Structure 1
């Protein structure tokens, strides 16, 4: 299935987070050359500054992909029940819970197992099948162009001197001073939408936000808790 794909992506969810498979997933991305995306919980499982990360092109990647490796995430309402993904795409879903396989979205192949173990097996198989990272260079270049184009469009807002400050300007200022090891706590409502798109995460468990309900007021106590921990 993967060898026949022209536009594959990896979608990493909470299963990769809980199985502590950051290094294994990075190896998979490095060796395969497949662009990767994450669920909110999994931000930083592979660093956002990885060369195969194109977060600003996420919507286009989901629409245009023809193969998705889904690792440890449900097709629930947070994932719009899988409806954002190209309806003709081949999907391989890996989940430790059998009942989550093909729930809400049909899949081509379901694998019941721990993400860390399955990713290790995939890494071994990549070597056996001699799959190289340059196989999808054209696909990555397309996503890279989209990424640059969309980032260019928001530059005027990032550099705006309007008052009160625009959220994108705030996010830009934070990016310029934050350390890669910083833990970012993002509050709810409007800043949540801008923050999760504009503030990068470089390590697992280093991005905290108000979650799918967008509750306001949690940013500060979350930050205090992270600092104490």
Structure 2
């Protein structure tokens, strides 16, 4: 069979581990679909292009292989921009292949003629147009190699339509893995010295620890030197729920009184107070060490006492050796202080997790959910206040099983993430936590779950408002505008209309049985829970 350029693009993608193409149909990219049929690649079509990119991104984050989205020209591609931006902020290796009006008609006003790469230059590692049918294999190889090289991130590549339809010669694909960057031993020795001097150290483990396959090395390092750990993003679960070193519930005390904070695999952004720690209850400001997978990720906006870049597995193993040489010893008094604080915080919350308050307190939802989650459950958060509670009260038992939008904070990720999670983890529970605001961005893609037989349990915390905006606006101005949604809107009926299952819950006692029905249903199922609109997640930091 003669090969066309679409065949070659798909074959190269498969060589890099891609087995699913996420897309929404469009004529500019038909040869890529034809190539997927020829090469037996799964095509997963969605109802909005943003879901295709979000699904590709979640695939990358769950499998630690590149994700692939294929978008048709013009609006198909612009609809995917927020997904690409999210992948950029999360450091997710996603390749987006786009269609483009024909070269033979370029400049004459062809349908959806648009120069796409400039739109993506600031949110990708590379954005470019293929140079021709004969070079398509080389161009796609470049896209995947670039996406996978540290620091990982998205790449956009579009093709002129007539080039995609053209014959092309098959060529051998060299899937060259990027050479691991070895950390500087002198920098590690300095970090070990700082840790040896510290009395109140804290270790933060972020998403890149998981993405770099460094979870075992990081856990061994923490356990060897008895370091309290606060996980961030996909670092959640590296120390499982209940681990004695897990200091999530003592976060305020840990960050407020620490004299050394080692932050690994995540930026020093608003989620971590921009890198300012210590200073609480008379404690001095903490020294800060930043560990990253690439030099470009090391913080430059705040003073660091130490830093190192490199493959994070290699880095943690080498740092363990350096700390042993430096004579680092555990600080049991500090570790015990944080453990007691965490235990007290858990005990203090017990009543709300069992609350019979009517209207329903959001915490009661998580008290019920935690009893039904398996150890390997994948939990996805897409929302504001409602999902903030999840970040505090749902503690994964394994790494790589938590997904949220990340620092870009883009709502609407949930359905795309759920599609990918059900494919990547076919035997696990997949639970999507939706705010009622977030539900409006992507709930139509329940149709995708139904058509492709992808059962997911969706839990909607429905307080009839944009809670993350309504309460702060009231506080600032004494009033609020543009913050109300329809009270108890029947999002569950949207799901049933699309072929799934669902129900509305208005009483605390109904939550547990409704969740059980959802898990037992074997279909996409939404439990629509009416929560108290007067309850706001207690925030102590902002993103400004």
Alignment TM-score, normalising by the size of structure 1:
0.89
1:15–1:114 CA contact under 8 A, matched in 2 = no
- Which of 56, 59, 63 is the matching residue for 2:256? 63
Determine the structure 1 residue equivalent to 2:328: 131
Is 2:299 the partner of 1:106?
A: no
Q: Is the 8 Å Cα contact of residues 204 and 262 (structure 2) preserved in structure 1?
A: yes
Q: Please name the residue that 2:197 is paired with.
A: 4
TM-superposed CA distance for 1:79, in Å, is: 2.6
Q: How much has 1:16 moved relative to structure 2?
A: 1.2
Instruction: Choose from 369, 373, 376 the match for 1:181.
Output: 376
Choose the corresponding residue for 1:222, options 382, 396, 417.
417
For residue 120 of structure 1, give the secondary structure of its aligned residue in structure 2: helix
Larger CA deviation: 67-76 vs 199-208: 67-76
1:95 and 2:292 matched: yes
1:44, CA displacement in angstroms?
1.6
Contact in 2 for aligned 1:192/1:214 (Cα 8 Å): no
What's the CA shift string for 1:16-38, capped at 9, x where partnerless?
Answer: 12211011011101101010112
Q: For structure 1, list consecutive stretches of 5 or more residues without a partner in the other structure.
A: none
Judge which range, 119-128 or 219-228, deviates more. Answer: 219-228
1:161 is matched with which residue?
Answer: 356
Confirm or deny that 1:30 pairs with 2:223. Answer: yes
The root-mean-square deviation of aligned C-alpha atoms, in Å, is: 2.1
**Quick one: which of 194, 211, 214 aligns to 1:18?**
211
User: Helix, strand or coil: the match of 1:126?
Assistant: helix
Cα distance change of structure 1 residues 73 and 217 upon mapping to structure 2, 3 Å threshold? closer
What is the distance in 1 between the residues matched to 2:318 and 2:222? Answer: 14
Find the counterpart in structure 1 of residue 190 from structure 2: none
Shift of 1:214: 4.8
Change (3 A) 1:15 1:187: closer
Residue of structure 1 in register with 2:347 after alignment: 152
Return the offset for 1:142: 0.9
The structural deviation recorded for 1:6 is 0.8
- Describe the superposition over 1:169-219 as per-residue Cα deviations: whole angstroms up to 9, x where unpaired: 111111112111111122312221100100111222201124345555544
Q: Which secondary structure state, in structure 2, belongs to the residue aligned with residue 49 of structure 1?
A: coil
Cα deviations by residue, 1:112-160 (Å, 9 ceiling, x for unpaired): 322211101012223334434xx31100111112112222222221111
Cα separation, 1, equivalents of 2:370 and 2:396: 10
Q: Kindly tell me: are residues 63 and 219 of structure 1, through their superposed partners in 2, closer, same or farther at Cα, counting changes over 3 Å?
A: same
Go from structure 1 to structure 2 and tell me whether the alpha carbon gap of 1:141 and 1:121 turns closer, same or farther (over 3 Å shift).
Answer: same
The answer on whether the counterparts of 2:199 and 2:259 sit within 8 Å (CA) in structure 1 is: yes
Q: 2:242: which partner in 1?
A: 49
- SS of the residue corresponding to residue 2 of structure 1 reads helix
Contact 2:277 2:285 in 1 (8 A): no
Q: Is there any run of 5+ residues in structure 2 with no aligned partner, and where? A: 1-193, 425-544
Distance 1:212 1:93, change over 3 A: closer
Alpha-carbon spacing, 1:114–1:72, altered in 2? closer, same or farther (3 Å) = same
Note if contact 2:405-2:411 (Cα within 8 Å) is conserved in structure 1.
yes
CA distance in 2, matches of 1:213, 1:69: 23
Partner of 1:141: 336
The answer to whether the 8 Å contact 1:59/1:84 transfers is: no
Q: Does 1:172 align with 2:367?
A: yes
Whole-Å Cα distance in 1 between the matches of residues 289 and 361 of structure 2? 40
Q: Distance in 1 between matches of 2:246 and 2:300?
A: 27
Residue 3 (structure 1) shift: 1.4
Q: Which residue of 2 aligns with 1:205?
A: 400
Q: CA deviation at 1:220?
A: 4.6
Measure the CA separation in 1 of the matches of 2:326 and 2:314: 18
